[in-house]
């Protein structure tokens, strides 16, 4: 439990005590009481709104109630003052000894500091991300979703949730992208056999990455498919093509340290094969959520093959907040993508996931309402879906925009970016912006060793701590710098405000983890690390002006040990945070 929650429950206990003594009326709603670090540190260490929230129910003035509560809270261990301020806030100040004990907590816990159990009773959580069609390599935008999803999953794990990661393979699509893939593969196959199929048709995938796929088929099957009609080679080319592309995609993901186990790949084709789509449809029909109707023509661009006024089964998604009812079957009798997606989410729910998180790209924003509606319908309100939309990544190189047109050869793949700047850099940068805001990614800037580069800034803080320990060994041979030993050191030598302030910042880490996990906002971890790194660098810099403020104090091993404990605490929390981000906490920078 984080520090602030602990105080919150202590405050609630005080209120309940006053109720028991008949000093306050029973039935007060204590649920809205908060205990938070105030924005302005001069307001103390912990601030509570208890009096403001309870005043109305208690039929007293906020400040009066605050005085009463403050009187009790002031007697709690570690509290040196409880002051009433503003409209009725109570500001608690804790003594330095209390904070030094918290540093011990950090040292004892190590990188497990920040672990939480808020997810313990929340049920199983499913995080679905990447989920691209197996039609080509990933691009930088996919990379953002991949990192976001992966880090969100780790974050939820750290917060104690039971998390499963999943990749949904859109490999069914008859008449869709999979067929386009198959034709593209066939084109390459013909080329491999020395034929000249001419220019690749519009809508196919002209990227070089399919050349080896065509070659492989040519090598294994020879001219077997050459004279056959499309109907015969289509399935084969689709299978070989999508298998090859999945292998490619997995490889791209591994380069980013993103790994899905075999059973974490869920195939759309497989859902169809196992009858899950029919099953979901029948269920909806039985619940009276399907009716036969005619859809309004689309408002935007009318498609060429648009067919007016066809009667078809429609799903009443408008009953669950969608804008229009949605078709589940296409004119050719096949299921729509949406139908399969409903079946997939139903399947998740059936497997016990009451919380589902989908990470999608910006272009799927218009799909959110219907999917949420579908989940509400198909789980009868018992399953919850949160869709996280990742906005576009604007890639540039030294300030010059990198073109990302779909035409092959003209697009930078995720893999190329990872190979150039490294996976740690890609992972971190992807979280330096909220998911719903566009992200600028400059290939040159992100590898600079400067204050402007957040990855470097945080990594450097960790490496700098390590460097201090190396020096410590030189200055005090035989000094034991293990966290366990430093925790037993003379921490009472930490007396400076800036040192205590740094400990206070460390103690907000568990709270950061919890709030980031609850809001599904992993970027908060990156921002916290930047703040912590800045505070640590700032303290280091004070040693420049005044040598007595350095972490290593020649001739005073006790003071040095105390300060090293603080450095170690910072290093551990940074490592803990980087662990969530999946970024290596380096000990040295090159």
Partner RNA sequence: GCGCCCUUAGCUCAGUUGGAUAGAGCAGCGGCCUUCUAAGCCGCAGGUCGGAGGUUCGAAUCCUCCAGGGCGCGCCA
Among positions 313-332, residues that touch RNA (CB under 7 A) are 323, 326-327, 329-332
In the bound state with RNA, the residue whose beta carbon lies nearer, of 380 and 545, is 545
Query: Rounded to the nearest whole angstrom, what is the least distance from the CB of residue 342 to RNA in the complex?
Result: 12
- When binding is defined by CB under 7 A, the residue of 22, 26, 39, 220 that contacts RNA is 39
Cβ–Cβ under 8 Å, residues 206 and 411: no
Q: How many CB atoms within 10 Å of residue 257?
A: 16
Query: Rounded to the nearest whole angstrom, what is the least distance from the CB of residue 114 to RNA in the complex?
Result: 15
34 binds RNA (CB under 7 A): yes
265 binds RNA (CB under 7 A): no
- When binding is defined by CB under 7 A, the residue of 17, 197, 222, 438 that contacts RNA is 438
Nearest Cα residue to 76 out of 170, 13, 150, 153: 13
547 binds RNA (CB under 7 A): yes
Q: Is 80 exposed, middle or buried (0-12, 13-18, 19+ CB in 10 A)?
A: middle
Q: Is 501 exposed, middle or buried (0-12, 13-18, 19+ CB in 10 A)?
A: middle
Query: Rounded to the nearest whole angstrom, what is the least distance from the CB of residue 484 to RNA in the complex?
Result: 22
355 binds RNA (CB under 7 A): no
Q: Which stretch binds RNA (CB under 7 A): 238-246, 347-355, 457-465, 482-490?
A: 457-465
In the bound state with RNA, the residue whose beta carbon lies nearer, of 225 and 551, is 551
Q: Which of residues 136-155 bind RNA (CB under 7 A)?
A: none
Q: How far is CA 323 from CA 292, 313, 530, in A?
A: 17, 17, 41
DSSP code for 413: B
Phi, psi of 84 (to 5 degrees): -90, 135
Edge-to-edge strands, sheet with 400-401: 400-401, 393-397, 439-442
In the bound state with RNA, the residue whose beta carbon lies nearer, of 265 and 337, is 337
540 binds RNA (CB under 7 A): yes
Q: Which of residues 508-527 bind RNA (CB under 7 A)?
A: 511, 515, 518-519, 521, 523-524, 527
Query: Rounded to the nearest whole angstrom, what is the least distance from the CB of residue 464 to RNA in the complex?
Result: 6
Query: Rounded to the nearest whole angstrom, what is the least distance from the CB of residue 273 to RNA in the complex?
Result: 15
345 binds RNA (CB under 7 A): no
Alpha carbons 222 and 104: distance in angstroms, whole number: 69
Query: Rounded to the nearest whole angstrom, what is the least distance from the CB of residue 545 to RNA in the complex?
Result: 7
Q: Which stretch binds RNA (CB under 7 A): 29-37, 155-163, 211-219, 236-244?
A: 29-37
Query: Rounded to the nearest whole angstrom, what is the least distance from the CB of residue 390 to RNA in the complex?
Result: 10
Q: Which of residues 186-245 bind RNA (CB under 7 A)?
A: none
Q: How many CB atoms within 10 Å of residue 416?
A: 15
Q: Which residues of 210-228 are buried (b: 16+ CB within 10 A; e: fewer)?
A: beebbebbbeeeeeebeee
Query: Rounded to the nearest whole angstrom, what is the least distance from the CB of residue 242 to RNA in the complex?
Result: 11
- When binding is defined by CB under 7 A, the residue of 434, 485, 575, 584 that contacts RNA is 434
Q: C-alpha 391: how far from its chain's center?
A: 14
In the bound state with RNA, the residue whose beta carbon lies nearer, of 255 and 271, is 271
Cβ–Cβ under 8 Å, residues 317 and 370: yes
- Long-range pairs for 293-298 at CB < 8 Å and ≥24 separation? 293/325, 295/324, 295/325, 295/327, 296/324
Q: Which stretch binds RNA (CB under 7 A): 110-118, 159-167, 220-228, 435-443?
A: 435-443
In the bound state with RNA, the residue whose beta carbon lies nearer, of 21 and 40, is 40
User: Element (H or E) spanning 401, and its range?
Assistant: strand 400-401
Query: Rounded to the nearest whole angstrom, what is the least distance from the CB of residue 173 to RNA in the complex?
Result: 3
Q: Assign residue 41 a region: left if phi > 0, alpha if psi is -120 to 50, beta otherwise?
A: alpha
404 binds RNA (CB under 7 A): no
Query: Rounded to the nearest whole angstrom, what is the least distance from the CB of residue 250 to RNA in the complex?
Result: 18
Q: Which of residues 372-391 bind RNA (CB under 7 A)?
A: 389, 391
Nearest Cα residue to 577 out of 480, 467, 454: 454
What's the token pair of residue 130?
């990447």
- When binding is defined by CB under 7 A, the residue of 133, 267, 317, 576 that contacts RNA is 133
Q: Which stretch binds RNA (CB under 7 A): 18-26, 43-51, 143-151, 250-258?
A: 43-51
Q: Which of residues 293-312 bind RNA (CB under 7 A)?
A: 295, 298-301, 303, 305-307, 310, 312
User: Element (H or E) spanning 294, and its range?
Assistant: strand 290-294
Alpha carbons 350 and 344: distance in angstroms, whole number: 10
- When binding is defined by CB under 7 A, the residue of 89, 161, 320, 349 that contacts RNA is 89
In the bound state with RNA, the residue whose beta carbon lies nearer, of 321 and 381, is 321
Nearest Cα residue to 559 out of 505, 478, 479, 502: 479
481 binds RNA (CB under 7 A): no
Alpha carbons 550 and 306: distance in angstroms, whole number: 74
Q: Which of residues 151-190 bind RNA (CB under 7 A)?
A: 170, 172-177
């Amino acid at each position: 439990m984080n520090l602030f929650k602990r105080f919150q429950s202590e405050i609630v206990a005080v209120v309940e005590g006053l109720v028991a003594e008949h000093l306050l009326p029973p039935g007060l709603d204590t649920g809205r009481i908060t205990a938070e670090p105030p924005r302005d540190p001069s307001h103390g260490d912990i601030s509570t709104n208890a009096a403001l929230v309870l005043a109305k129910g208690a039929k007293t003035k906020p400040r009066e109630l605050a005085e009463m509560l403050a009187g009790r809270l002031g007697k709690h261990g570690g509290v040196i003052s409880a002051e009433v301020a503003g409209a009725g806030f109570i500001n608690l100040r804790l003594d330095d000894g209390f904070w030094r004990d918290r540093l011990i907590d950090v040292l004892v816990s190590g990188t497990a500091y920040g672990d939480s159990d808020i997810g313990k009773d929340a049920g199983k959580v499913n995080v679905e991300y990447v989920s691209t069609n197996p039609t080509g390599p990933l691009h930088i935008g996919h990379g953002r979703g991949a990192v976001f999803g992966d880090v969100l999953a780790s974050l939820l794990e750290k917060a104690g949730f039971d998390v499963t990661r999943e990749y949904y393979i859109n490999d069914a699509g008859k008449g869709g992208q999979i067929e386009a893939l198959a034709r593209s593969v066939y084109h390459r196959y013909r080329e491999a056999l020395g034929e000249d199929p001419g220019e690749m048709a519009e809508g196919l995938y002209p990227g070089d990455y399919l050349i080896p796929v065509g070659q492989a088929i040519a090598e294994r099957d020879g001219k077997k498919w050459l004279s056959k009609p499309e109907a015969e080679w289509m399935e084969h080319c689709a299978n070989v093509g999508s298998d090859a592309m999945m292998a490619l995609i997995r490889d791209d993901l591994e380069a980013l340290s993103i790994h899905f186990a075999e059973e974490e790949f869920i195939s759309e084709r497989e859902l169809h094969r196992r009858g899950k789509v029919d099953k979901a449809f029948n269920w909806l029909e039985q619940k009276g959520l399907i009716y036969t109707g005619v859809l309004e023509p689309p408002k935007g661009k009318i498609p060429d093959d648009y067919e007016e006024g066809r009667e078809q089964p429609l799903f009443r998604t408008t009953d669950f907040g969608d804008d229009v009812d949605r078709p589940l079957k296409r004119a050719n009798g096949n299921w729509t993508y949406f139908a399969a997606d409903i079946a997939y989410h139903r399947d998740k729910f059936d497997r016990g996931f009451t919380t589902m998180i989908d990470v999608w790209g910006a272009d799927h924003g218009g799909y959110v309402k219907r999917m949420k509606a579908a989940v509400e319908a198909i789980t009868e309100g018992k399953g919850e879906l949160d869709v996280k939309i990742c906005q576009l990544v604007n890639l540039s190189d030294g300030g010059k925009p990198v073109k990302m047109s779909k035409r092959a050869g003209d697009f930078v793949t995720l893999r190329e970016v990872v190979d150039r700047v490294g996976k740690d850099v890609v992972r971190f940068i992807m979280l330096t912006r909220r998911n719903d805001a566009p992200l600028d990614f400059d290939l040159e800037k992100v590898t600079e060793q400067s204050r402007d580069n957040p990855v470097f800034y945080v990594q450097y803080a960790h490496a700098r701590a390590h460097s201090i320990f190396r020096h410590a060994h030189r200055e005090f041979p035989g000094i034991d710098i293990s966290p366990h030993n430093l925790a037993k050191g003379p921490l009472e030598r930490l007396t400076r405000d800036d040192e205590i302030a740094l400990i206070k910042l460390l103690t907000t880490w568990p709270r950061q983890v919890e709030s980031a996990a609850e809001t599904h906002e992993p970027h908060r971890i990156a921002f916290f690390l930047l703040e912590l790194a800045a505070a640590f660098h700032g303290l280091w810099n004070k040693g420049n002006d005044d040598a007595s403020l350095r972490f290593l104090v020649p001739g005073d091993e006790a003071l040095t040990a105390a300060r090293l404990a603080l450095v170690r605490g910072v290093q551990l929390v940074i490592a803990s945070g980087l662990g969530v981000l999946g970024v290596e906490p380096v000990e040295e920078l090159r």
